[in-house]
RNA sequence: GCCUCCUUAGCUCAGUCGGUUAGAGCGGCGGACUGUUAAUCCGUAGGUCCUUGGUUCGAGCCCAAGAGGGGGCGCCA
């Protein structure tokens, strides 16, 4: 294959007057003379200038939307206003035709819903290519952040033998014949004949295994796919999503909050620093979209301003009890604007979280010390015996981005909570033994990777920040 | 799982009170155009009005069921 130069490289340090080859897909062919070529390396296209008298008419006809080309020519300073450099085409080869009469995409604005059904083509569009470049950037930044701070990347299992991880409905994993599964004497499915000789599921969280790592390596994080068989139909939920779960020995809930805030700000900052063109493109996309919207439906700030604002300001930190008081003293509550009454002991509703984040504080909020009754068994009991050392990081637009806690390290207290919540000891014998032998205070949290990407890209639906979304009733591609 | 809205040309949508031949913009196609930037200009084709059943002299429009999609809620990340 001929050596090609990537567009990102050309734009960064233009090899002026050199003869180079570029390969990519056609975004536009204007005025019978100008091709906007895109190759994935950059949010920007490279302009190819064609003298149509030098090329065969049949070849020129094939330069259609999203056709794949190889172009060789001299790189020169552009005479036009929209770009700094351009290639004067000397050779054009059609690597892949794209018949516009039958091709699914069109050179025009198309809806996210439509493009979602064309997931095999949507990455070629300006918006989705920007989203997926940024998605990569965030993933890389996750590893860089933890590596630079002495954390170890721990691979938690995808197939799990315990169904007590407590984070939601699970997908079953089996090699048994579902038409005629073997039965035990009392008529139940006999999982002892299954591949693992027991019932297994896809993981809903790597946290419990991460705790094993933390109590040996000190600072670890997991970053892997997570599966929840919840019938959740929202723009913030996926059945298959990626989660980052740091777990740290000798951390309490305060340290945990500090880590969460610093981590999230780092990710945003990394993207702003390394993907400014993509962020600018997405920022402009939202502005264009909102031009036709009523003022009250528009975002209070543009994407870029929102991201900068989050980095530059401290997150608000309040307790659950304070949150409930604020909500009950709000004029919205007094005017009965809330559908649900904010009441101590009940979980905060989405409308309550939105009020705190978007109306009251107007910035990310960390709520901590929730009532024990609404949180998981492993969260550490506070001295008041009523609340646990849990924390949620709430973001504008998407709500909960992070959920975490200081873990209950006291064996007797953990056992007691497990009994209260009906969790079998045998199921988590190893988790209990961690508390018996060399246990210590520790804490961690889970960050929803797609929710983070959603926030950074400003995409409205989580299905548009993962290449191939899995949701109830949908597993295409 | 619950609530709600939507489904008309390739895409985005309009379609009045139930009435003759269902419209627009964009996209496509044909042509023009050698400095365009969502290019522009002229011309042109393109319809299972989501499906099934019903009401009616007559249904894109009314009713019922189903399918697909969006938004909201719950569950959470």
Q: Which residue gives the smallest C-alpha to C1' distance to B74?
A: A232
Give average pLDDT by consecutive 10-residue segment, chain A, 477 residues: 95 96 96 95 96 92 95 95 94 94 91 93 95 98 98 96 75 93 93 94 94 97 95 93 98 97 98 96 90 75 92 96 95 90 93 93 95 94 96 92 96 94 89 96 97 96 95 90
> A264: closest CA among A140, A145, A353, A156?
A145
Predicted local distance difference test score (pLDDT) of residue A164 = 62
Rounded Cα gap, residues A155 and A180, in angstroms: 35
Which of residues 273-312 of A have CB within 7 Å of strand B?
none
Å between CA of A63 and C1' of B42 = 23
Q: Cβ of residue A350 near strand B, that is under 7 Å?
A: yes
Determine whether the distance from the CB of A447 to the nearest atom of strand B is below 7 Å: yes
pTM as predicted: 0.95
Determine the pLDDT at residue A168: 78
State the residue for tokens 């609340």. A387
**Residues contacting residue A76 through CB under 8 Å, at least 6 positions apart:** A16, A17, A85, A86, A87, A88
Distance in Å from B5's C1' to A234's CA comes to 15
- What was the pLDDT predicted at A68? 96
Q: How much is the ipTM here?
A: 0.90
For residue A23, what are the β-bridge partners? A70
How far is A271 from A411, CA to CA, in rounded Å?
Answer: 42
Query: What is the predicted pLDDT for the residue at A34?
Result: 95
Q: Please report, rounded to whole angstroms, the spatial distance between the CA atom of protein residue A197 and the C1' atom of nucleotide B5.
A: 48
Nucleic acid strand B within 7 Å of A151 CB: no
């Amino acid at each position: 294959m001929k050596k090609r130069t990537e567009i990102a490289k050309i734009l960064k340090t233009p090899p002026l007057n050199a003869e180079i080859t570029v390969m990519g897909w056609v975004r536009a062919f204007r005025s019978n003379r100008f091709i906007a070529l895109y190759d994935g390396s950059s949010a920007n296209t490279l302009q190819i200038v064609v003298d149509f008298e030098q090329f065969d008419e049949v070849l020129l006809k094939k330069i259609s939307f999203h056709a794949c080309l190889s172009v060789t020519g001299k790189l020169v300073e552009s005479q036009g206003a929209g770009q700094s450099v351009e290639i004067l085409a000397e050779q054009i080869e059609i690597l892949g035709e794209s018949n516009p009469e039958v091709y699914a995409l069109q050179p025009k604005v198309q809806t996210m819903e439509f493009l979602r059904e064309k997931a095999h083509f949507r990455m070629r569009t300006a918006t989705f290519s920007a989203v997926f470049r940024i998605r990569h950037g965030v993933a890389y930044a996750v590893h860089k952040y933890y590596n630079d701070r002495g954390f170890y990347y721990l691979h938690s299992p995808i197939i799990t033998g315990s169904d007590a991880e407590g984070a939601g409905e699970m997908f079953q994993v089996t090699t048994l014949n579902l038409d005629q599964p073997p039965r035990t004497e009392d008529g139940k499915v006999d999982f002892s004949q299954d591949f693992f000789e027991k019932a297994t599921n896809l993981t809903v969280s790597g946290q419990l295994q991460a705790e094993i790592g933390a109590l040996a390596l000190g600072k670890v994080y997991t970053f892997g796919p997570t599966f929840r068989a919840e019938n959740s139909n929202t723009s913030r939920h996926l059945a298959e999503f990626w989660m980052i779960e740091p777990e740290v020995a000798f951390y309490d809930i305060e340290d945990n909050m500090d880590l969460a805030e610093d981590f999230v700000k780092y990710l945003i900052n990394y993207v702003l620093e390394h993907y400014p063109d993509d962020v600018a493109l997405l920022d402009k996309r939202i502005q264009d979209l909102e031009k036709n919207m009523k003022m009250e439906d528009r975002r209070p700030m543009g994407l870029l301003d929102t991201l900068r604002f989050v980095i530059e300001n401290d997150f608000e930190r309040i307790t659950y009890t304070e949150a409930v008081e604020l909500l009950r003293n709000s004029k919205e509550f007094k005017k009965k604007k809330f559908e649900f009454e904010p009441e101590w002991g009940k979980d905060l509703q989405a409308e309550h979280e939105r009020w705190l984040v978007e109306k009251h504080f107007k910035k990310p909020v960390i709520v901590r010390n929730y009532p024990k009754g609404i949180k998981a068994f492993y969260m550490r009991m506070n001295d008041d015996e009523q609340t646990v050392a849990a924390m949620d990081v709430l973001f504008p637009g998407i709500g909960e981005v992070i959920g975490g806690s200081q873990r209950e390290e006291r064996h007797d207290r953990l056992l007691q909570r497990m009994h209260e919540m009906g969790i079998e000891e045998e199921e988590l014998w190893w988790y209990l033994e961690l508390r018996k032998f060399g246990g210590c205070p520790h804490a961690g949290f889970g960050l929803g990777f797609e929710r983070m990407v959603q926030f950074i890209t400003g995409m409205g639906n989580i299905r548009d920040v993962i290449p191939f979304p899995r949701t109830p009733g949908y597993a295409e591609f």
